[in-house]
């Protein structure tokens, strides 16, 4: 049973018993919790698409590791074609769910580990790659979802991990045993951690001397003893709990803080332990893959936003207004530039010694910087096109109230022939896509802060080549 259906994915999550809290209360049934279920459904779309004939060929491929059909979200890219497919699927999914589908981060971790465990073994004679391959095959055979546990809480940002007054502010090894390691720490902004079967922990930054206990990578089931998920607030979250005015009636996003309160990890699941010189490479590779993923899914989300804006023009009777059509052009241009940059990062990819293909990191980071600025601009344009009701639309409960409902529907009527109920639904969707903090803020910080994207671009761009171009043109000759 190499690939799961949507329903099989849901049932597989039911078998897990994670420790989870939200609004100060323990949640026993995560899968049916209305706040979390929207996020689970969004990840479930990656399973659903695999079952649909239209998308099956793009989503399902053969794994060279198992020889079986697998969902691409479990396969580190083995060719340029695979890199390109990642972007295409993410774009389709972004538009399909209108938010974050939350399954790319796990694949980005698997992809980074498939490169760096191999390189580490080559240098140190360790056996991380074989362990990693065993884990990868397990993920593929069971069609599992993983979350990326990368971002540490970090305490005082000016101090290295080992310099922090509280030593647990970066996740670390507290004990090495014969059978495995005990770890302690907390990872934050953990997109979809309760929609995942496995959590993949990577270091959050390059480590230096003294940080050996923090140079750690491993995988652990999401319901391991000692792992505590505390679901964070998101604007509009209580609407999901109340089951009213949700806007996106199917999908949503949530990001818990995940505490590792002394968690045991067997050696078979440990992929880095103390190799400080590879920690920067591991997080760097993860981030680059993740920034490429964003170019796909966020261009897809813009597609959904463009659709909503066009529908609002139909409902408002403004579909022929020239300045609004120009704004649609701007939104399309942003989506295509983002997509194009991410595709270019894929086409310029290269094979690494392990056989995994790595993207062109400068192009992937350029794509992410573009997203951070221009997605906010697309939201602004969508709201401009839609009108002020994005801010203060009355509740569906008012629309169904016998006293004011009829009056509201009379006065919210738009262009003739357009059902007022549809106009109201679309207004609510625009509000969700514009205001859902978990998704809109990931455009800026997801995959690292904007400064991290810029640093990578500076570090990995060939500056001397550019200087030489200019010197040749200016007639400057230096030995």
Calpha distance 248→427 (Å, rounded): 11
Which 98-127 positions form the footprint of ligand FAD (CB under 6 A)?
105
CA distances from 312 to 150, 332, 375, 434 (A): 39, 16, 19, 14
Pairing mode, strands 270-273 and 216-221: antiparallel
Identify the residue among 161, 185, 295, 448 touching ligand FAD (CB under 6 A). Answer: 448
Write out the two tokens for 259. 């505490």
Nearer to ligand FAD, 239 or 253 (CB): 253
Query: Per rule CB under 6 A, is residue 375 in the interface with ligand FAD?
Result: no
Selected range binding ligand FAD among 80-88, 117-125, 189-197, 458-466, rule: CB under 6 A: 189-197
Cβ contact 217:113 at 8 Å: yes
Nearer to ligand FAD, 148 or 272 (CB): 148
Query: Per rule CB under 6 A, is residue 196 in the interface with ligand FAD?
Result: no
Q: How far is the CB of 11 from ligand FAD (least distance, A)?
A: 24
Identify the residue among 451, 463, 473, 474 touching ligand FAD (CB under 6 A). Answer: 451
Query: Per rule CB under 6 A, is residue 150 in the interface with ligand FAD?
Result: yes
Identify the residue among 191, 195, 346, 365 touching ligand FAD (CB under 6 A). Answer: 191
Identify the residue among 72, 187, 291, 370 touching ligand FAD (CB under 6 A). Answer: 187
Beta bridge partners of 84: none
Taking each helix axis from N to C end, the angle separating 34-51 and 6-14, rounded to the nearest 10 degrees, works out to 140
Which run of H or E residues covers position 377?
Answer: helix 361-386
CB-based contacts of 398: which residues, under 8 Å, 6+ apart?
Answer: 404, 405, 408
Selected range binding ligand FAD among 172-180, 187-195, 219-227, 275-283, rule: CB under 6 A: 187-195
C-alpha dihedral, 120 to 116 to 466 to 345, nearest 10°: 160
Calpha distance 87→89 (Å, rounded): 6
Beta bridge partners of 180: 266
Identify the residue among 40, 219, 255, 393 touching ligand FAD (CB under 6 A). Answer: 255
Calpha distance 424→436 (Å, rounded): 18
Query: Per rule CB under 6 A, is residue 190 in the interface with ligand FAD?
Result: yes
Write out the two tokens for 80. 């340029």
Identify the residue among 148, 181, 258, 343 touching ligand FAD (CB under 6 A). Answer: 148
Identify the residue among 86, 189, 197, 368 touching ligand FAD (CB under 6 A). Answer: 189
Query: Per rule CB under 6 A, is residue 433 in the interface with ligand FAD?
Result: no
Q: Which residues bind ligand FAD (CB under 6 A)?
A: 105, 148-151, 154, 157-158, 187, 189-191, 255, 438, 441-442, 445-449, 451
């Amino acid at each position: 049973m190499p690939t799961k259906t949507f329903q099989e994915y849901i049932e597989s999550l039911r078998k897990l018993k994670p420790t989870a809290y939200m609004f100060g209360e323990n949640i026993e049934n995560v899968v049916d919790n209305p706040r979390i279920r929207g996020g689970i459904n969004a990840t479930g779309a990656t399973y659903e698409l695999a079952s649909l004939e239209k998308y099956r060929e793009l989503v399902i491929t053969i794994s060279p590791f198992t020889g079986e059909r697998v969902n691409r979200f479990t396969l580190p890219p083995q060719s340029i074609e695979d890199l390109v497919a990642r972007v295409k699927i993410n774009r389709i999914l972004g538009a399909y769910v209108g938010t974050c589908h939350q399954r790319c981060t796990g694949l980005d971790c698997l992809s980074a580990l498939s490169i760096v465990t191999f390189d580490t073994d080559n240098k140190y004679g360790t056996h991380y790659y074989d362990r990693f391959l065993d884990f990868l095959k397990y993920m593929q055979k069971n069609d599992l979802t993983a979350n990326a546990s990368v971002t540490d809480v970090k305490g005082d940002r000016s101090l290295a991990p080992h310099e922090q007054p509280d030593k647990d502010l970066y996740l670390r090894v507290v004990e090495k045993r014969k059978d495995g390691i005990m770890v302690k720490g907390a990872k934050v902004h953990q997109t979809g951690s309760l929609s995942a079967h496995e959590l993949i922990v990577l270091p959050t930054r390059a480590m230096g001397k003294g940080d050996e206990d923090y140079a750690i990578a491993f995988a652990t089931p999401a319901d391991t003893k000692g792992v505590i998920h505390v679901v964070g607030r998101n604007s509009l979250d209580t609407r999901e709990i109340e089951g009213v005015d949700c806007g996106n009636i199917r999908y949503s996003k949530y990001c818990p803080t995940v505490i590792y309160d002394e968690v045991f990890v067997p050696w078979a699941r440990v992929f880095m332990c103390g190799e400080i010189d590879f920690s920067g490479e591991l997080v760097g590779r993860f981030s680059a893959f993740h920034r490429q993923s964003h170019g796909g899914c966020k261009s897809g989300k813009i597609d959904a936003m463009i659709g909503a804006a066009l529908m609002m023009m139909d409902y408002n009777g403004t579909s022929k207004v020239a300045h609004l059509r120009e704004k649609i052009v701007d939104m399309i241009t942003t989506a295509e530039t983002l997509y194009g940059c991410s595709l270019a990062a894929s086409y310029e990819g290269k094979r690494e010694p392990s056989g995994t293909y790595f993207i062109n990191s400068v192009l992937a980071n350029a794509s992410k910087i573009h997203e951070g600025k221009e997605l906010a601009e697309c939201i602004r344009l969508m709201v401009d096109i839609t009108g002020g009701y994005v801010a203060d639309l009355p509740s569906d409960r008012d629309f169904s109230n016998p006293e004011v409902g009829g009056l509201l529907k009379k006065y919210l009527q738009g262009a003739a022939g357009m059902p007022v109920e549809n106009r109201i639904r679309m207004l609510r969707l625009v509000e969700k896509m514009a205001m859902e903090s978990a998704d809109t803020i990931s455009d800026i910080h997801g995959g690292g802060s904007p400064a991290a994207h810029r640093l990578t671009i500076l570090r990995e761009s060939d500056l001397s080549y550019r200087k030489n171009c200019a010197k040749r043109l200016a007639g400057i000759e230096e030995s």
